[in-house]
């Protein structure tokens, strides 16, 4: 689409140049000079079509109409998003003059102000504590989902089931759910015919599953579900996204002075409440869900927050980075099959235990001898099970472990290498070896879009503060996140919301039975979500 528009411009230019040479009148000579000057010195980049996210609506005449319409305003405000994000850029939309950066400032200031209202914080804490008391494991977040739906209904927000118990809620900024003429979203109907392909959208995501951990805190709202605990703080993530929904609604209902009508048209914020982050690849299942596929969702950007209870990110801070922020992770299982028999006559058997032990040591060379010192890979064999009694050599040994890497290419290579080494050791020891990554989903590395990360920091400075230590550049880490599936689809950013707080004992790592979430971070987290979405949309842009 970009190429086609450029070609049209060039043709127009040539026609005008030719016409000017056919007349010798002074007026036409002057006209020629003006056209020549305009065509050759007007910066070509300002004609570049920026109106639709990459890959959207190719060869779709209906979409093309929409694209060109939006391109008209995009051409004028291109600079806002691409070149000089901190500068005040005046844009003209539909003949009216407004300042997108001023709108951005007004939106962020309002969100910050609303987030500081005491009722707002109390409500977030109420929601978070209810969820903390009732943790549910992946793909069983039913009570959690019904709680979220009730809270959304209170706010008048429509939603759909997507990869049940996942929920896709949507807030159209112009309040018009039906302006594409292709149907209407329902409230929990589970049947949507709405197509979202022409919308300018931002996606905000919270995960909602708990872990099979028995809580060891003394909190009065500790888990009531035996053996289950929100030890990764996803209860807080849900509360923050519900809070963002409330803040967005407040801004929209506050009238035109905060967010003018022209900055709302055709725009939508999606709120994804995602199940099964802890190993179930709920993000992938949501992307593959009929709901999301039928709606043809193409957000310009996606945003997620994870509480981060480590000393480098104290409560009150925000951290992110462009590029890889979290590793890719694969959980593998290796089955070694030998031939069992009496333990006293090993030469008559094929020893699966010795073969398994050699696999444990040989796969260590993947990191120590085959990976560049400048790259990062982890291979850990976490379990090794074989045999039942001391005088019987078993037929089989089973090993499980985890494989992690920061770079997508290295990750794929390490998976292949693990299989190759294990099979080679099996061959050398006369055992059959099977390596499987199928027992749990493989998560690719989470790679943040560099411009999305910069924009997240710009928003965070308005919410967390501009002082040193508030908005941080962080280093990548080896845990993994299925938000990576969204990041593979849209320009996305995963962020840390600092939650380390010595004063209240919020010092235990994620997944610890003693983990405590600092609830004072919730209001800023909600504001960061809302600020990212409305801030992006206020800038009248469709991409960074
Ligand atoms: Zn976790
Ligand atoms: Zn988590």
CB within 8 Å of 500: residues ≥ 6 apart = 308, 309, 310, 311, 312, 313, 314, 315, 506, 507, 518
The domain that holds 188 is classified in CATH as 3.40.630.10
Residues 315 and 342 in one domain: no
Any domain includes 441: no
Final residue of a domain: which of 382, 401, 436?
A: 436
The tally of domains found in the chain comes to: 3
Q: SS3 for 492-530, per residue?
A: EEEEEEECEEHHHCECCCCCCCCCCCCHHHHHHHHHHHH
Final residue of a domain: which of 436, 465, 495?
A: 436
Any domain includes 121: yes
Residues 300 and 410 in one domain: no
- Ligand 1: distance of its center to the CA of 210 in Å? 8
- Ligand 1: distance of its center to the CA of 520 in Å? 20
Q: How many CB atoms sit inside 10 A of residue 338's CB?
A: 24
Residues 153 and 275 in one domain: yes
Q: Which ligand is nearest to the CA of 283?
A: 2
For residue 106, give the nearest of 544, 539, 543, 400 by alpha carbon: 539
Structural domain boundaries enclosing 117: 106-326+452-538
Helix (H) or strand (E) holding 408: helix 408-428
pTM: 0.77
Residues 273 and 417 in one domain: no
Any domain includes 260: yes
- Ligand 2: distance of its center to the CA of 235 in Å? 10
The domain that holds 401 is classified in CATH as 3.30.70.360
Pairing of strands 200-207, 301-308: parallel
DSSP-derived 3-state class of residue 163: coil
- Ligand 2: distance of its center to the CA of 186 in Å? 30
Residues 307 and 338 in one domain: no
Any domain includes 543: no
Residues 191 and 312 in one domain: yes
Any domain includes 442: no
Q: Ligand 2 (ion): which residues have CB within 5 A?
A: 232
Final residue of a domain: which of 436, 465, 486?
A: 436
> Where would I find the beta strands (DSSP E) of 116-234?
158-161, 167-172, 200-207
Q: Render each residue's pLDDT in the chain as its tens digit; 544 residues.
A: 333 333 333 333 333 333 333 334 444 545 445 444 444 443 333 322 233 333 333 333 334 333 323 322 333 333 333 333 443 333 333 333 347 888 999 999 999 999 999 899 999 999 999 999 999 999 999 999 999 999 999 999 999 999 999 999 999 999 865 444 333 334 444 344 456 777 899 999 999 999 999 999 999 999 999 999 999 999 999 999 999 999 999 999 998 889 988 889 999 999 999 999 999 999 999 999 999 999 999 999 999 999 999 999 999 999 999 999 999 999 999 999 999 999 999 999 999 999 999 999 999 999 999 999 999 999 999 999 999 999 999 999 999 999 999 998 999 999 999 999 999 999 999 999 999 986 567 899 999 999 999 999 999 999 999 999 999 999 999 999 999 999 999 999 999 999 999 999 999 999 999 999 999 999 999 999 999 999 999 997 777 7
């Amino acid at each position: 689409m970009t190429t086609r528009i450029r070609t049209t411009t060039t043709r127009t230019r040539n026609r005008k140049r030719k016409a000017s040479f056919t007349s010798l009148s002074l007026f036409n000579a002057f006209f020629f000079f003006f056209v020549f000057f305009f065509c050759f010195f007007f910066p070509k980049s300002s004609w570049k079509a920026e109106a639709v996210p990459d890959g959207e609506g190719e060869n779709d005449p209906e979409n093309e109409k929409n694209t060109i319409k939006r391109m008209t305003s995009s051409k004028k405000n291109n600079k806002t998003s691409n070149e000089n994000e901190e500068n005040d850029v005046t844009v003209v939309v539909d003949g009216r003059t407004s300042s997108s950066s001023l709108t951005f400032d007004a939106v962020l200031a309002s969100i910050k102000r609303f987030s500081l209202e005491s009722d707002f914080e109390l409500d977030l804490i109420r929601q978070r504590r209810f969820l903390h008391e009732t943790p549910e494991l992946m793909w069983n977040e039913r009570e959690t989902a019904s709680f979220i739906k009730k809270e959304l209904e209170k706010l008048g927000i429509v939603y759909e089931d997507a990869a049940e118990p996942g929920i896709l809620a949507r807030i159209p900024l112009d309040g018009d759910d039906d302006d594409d003429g292709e149907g209407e979203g329902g409230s929990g109907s589970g049947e949507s015919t709405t197509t979202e392909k022409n919308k300018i959208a931002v996606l905000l995501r919270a995960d909602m599953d708990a872990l099979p951990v028995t809580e060891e805190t003394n909190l009065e709202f500790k888990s009531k579900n035996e053996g289950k605990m929100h030890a990764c703080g996803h209860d807080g993530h849900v509360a923050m996204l519900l809070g963002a929904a409330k803040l967005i609604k407040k801004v929209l209902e506050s009238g035109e002075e905060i967010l003018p009508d022209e900055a709302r048209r055709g725009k939508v914020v999606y709120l994804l409440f995602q199940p099964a982050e802890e190993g179930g690849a709920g993000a992938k299942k949501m992307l593959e869900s009929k709901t999301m596929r039928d709606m043809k969702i193409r957000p310009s950007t996606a945003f997620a927050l994870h509480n981060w209870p480590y000393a480098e990110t104290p409560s009150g801070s925000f951290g992110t980075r462009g590029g890889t922020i979290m590793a890719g992770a694969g959980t593998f299982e290796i089955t070694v099959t030998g031939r069992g028999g009496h333990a006293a006559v090993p030469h008559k058997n094929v020893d699966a235990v010795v073969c398994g032990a050699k696999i444990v040591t040989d796969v260590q060379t993947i990191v120590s001898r085959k990976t560049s010192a400048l790259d990062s890979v982890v291979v850990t064999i976490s379990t090794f099970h074989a045999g039942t009694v001391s005088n019987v050599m078993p037929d089989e040994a089973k090993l499980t472990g985890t494989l992690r890497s920061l770079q997508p290419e290295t990750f794929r290579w390490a998976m292949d290498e693990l299989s190759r080494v294990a099979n080679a050791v099996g061959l050398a020891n006369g055992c059959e070896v099977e390596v499987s990554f199928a027992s749990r989903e493989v998560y690719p590395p989470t790679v943040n879009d560099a411009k999305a990360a910069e924009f997240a920091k710009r928003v965070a400075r308005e919410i967390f503060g501009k002082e040193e230590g508030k908005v941080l550049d962080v280093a990548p880490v080896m845990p993994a996140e299925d938000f990576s599936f969204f990041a593979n689809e849209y320009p996305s950013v995963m962020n840390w919301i600092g939650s380390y707080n010595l004063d209240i004992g919020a010092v235990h790592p994620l997944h610890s039975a003693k983990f405590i979430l600092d609830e004072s971070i919730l209001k800023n987290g909600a504001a960061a979500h809302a600020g990212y979405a409305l801030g992006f949309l206020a800038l009248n842009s469709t991409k960074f």
